[in-house]
Amino acid sequence: MKLDDIAAFMSAVRCQSIIHAAESLQLTQPAITRRIQNLEQDLGVELLDRNTKPLKPTAIGLRVYEQCRAIVREMDNLRELVARDTPPSGSLRLGIPQTLGDVLLPNTFEQLKQVYPDLQTQVVTGWGSNLMGKLEKGELDAATALFPAGKVFPEGVLGEALGSMNLLVVCAQDMAFKRTGKLMDYYRQGWILNPDGCGFRASLHRTLLEQGLELRVNLETFGIELQLSLVAQGVGLGLVPEPLLKRSMHRERLSVVQLRDFKPVIDLWLLQPRFLGNLQGAVDLFKDQVASSLSLPTLVA
């Protein structure tokens, strides 16, 4: 029984596809199929139900998959013992929230390149749930993501809260209404928000629904600076993390609307596998750079 065969089987189960498993492991489809067949021959059982789409494990295959996960965890533990103190090498795959990409990407690349010039850094952006899914599948080595305080993460994913951010409702400075009130006093102005999938938008929508109010979206687009530019022009209300408002070139043309019944707070988390080997130092640098870039207040344990 070979570890390569186990890895091929586990990848096929995670990806629910031989094609995607081959892409994930950078192998050919026949190579993945052959390795899975080798494992089935060694164990004397059929591990995959090849008549289903998407691909699924058989009943015994699911039990074997769980045992393989335990084997891989122990192997990672063993590698960790000998690799953690060696310099980072190879590639480092990072995930960053879509909302924070403009702020974090330039400094992240610069700092990692300065400290670890031989390390190839790859970064993707996305919503928190998407990034966490990629981490679970082994497609990322670490990610930062925005989730509420107290978030519970899947087995095998370590979550460390880096700090909290207030989400502020903002409007154009010359809009003629009071800057203090309740959500129902302002929702008719409409909003400039991220597309569906954004946690900020979901929080606002949920609060509106609880009050029997509708979410009026005047315009949806990516990019906090673009959104704030449109808010400053009076196109609608915006929802922005406080650190990003302080950094914005449009802040002088914006006012914060103090809502008594909508004061959302969100935490920024660092997510990583339990064992990273010699990449741990680079991930720690990434974590420090993220917290520094956003000037996050330290969380009290």
Domain 91-164+266-294 matching CATH 1.10.3720.10: the answer reads no
Q: How confident is the model at residue 167 (pLDDT cuts 50, 70, 90)?
A: confident
CB count in 10 Å sphere of residue 123: 18
90-134 pLDDT per residue, tens: 788 999 988 887 777 777 788 888 888 888 888 888 888 889 888
The answer to whether 190 touches 237, Cβ cutoff 8 Å, is yes
- For 166-264, CATH gives 3.40.190.10
Q: How confident is the model at residue 84 (pLDDT cuts 50, 70, 90)?
A: low
177-199 pLDDT per residue, tens: 677 788 888 888 899 998 888 88
The answer to whether 294 touches 100, Cβ cutoff 8 Å, is yes
- Residue 300 is predicted with a pLDDT of 40
d(Cα 283, Cα 127) in Å, to the nearest integer?
Answer: 20
Could you give the residue range(s) of every CATH 3.40.190.10 domain in the chain?
A: 91-164+266-294, 166-264
Could you give the residue range(s) of every CATH 1.10.10.10 domain in the chain?
A: 3-82
The CATH number, out of the four listed (1.10.10.10, 1.10.1740.10, 2.40.30.10, 3.90.1150.10), of the domain defined by the range 3-82: 1.10.10.10
d(Cα 158, Cα 274) in Å, to the nearest integer?
Answer: 6
The answer to whether 266 touches 167, Cβ cutoff 8 Å, is yes
210-to-91, 146, 165, 203, 204 alpha-carbon distances in Å: 46, 22, 23, 11, 10
pTM above 0.85, yes or no: no
26-61 pLDDT per residue, tens: 899 999 999 999 999 999 999 999 888 889 999 999
Strands 157-172 and 265-273: antiparallel
Paired strand residues for 56: 49
- Secondary structure, 3-state, 100-169: HHHHHHHHHHHHHHHHCCCCEEEEEEECHHHHHHHHHCCCCCEEEEEECCCCCCCCCEEEEEEEEEEEEE
- Residue 85 is predicted with a pLDDT of 63
Q: Which two tokens stand for residue 34?
A: 């052959």
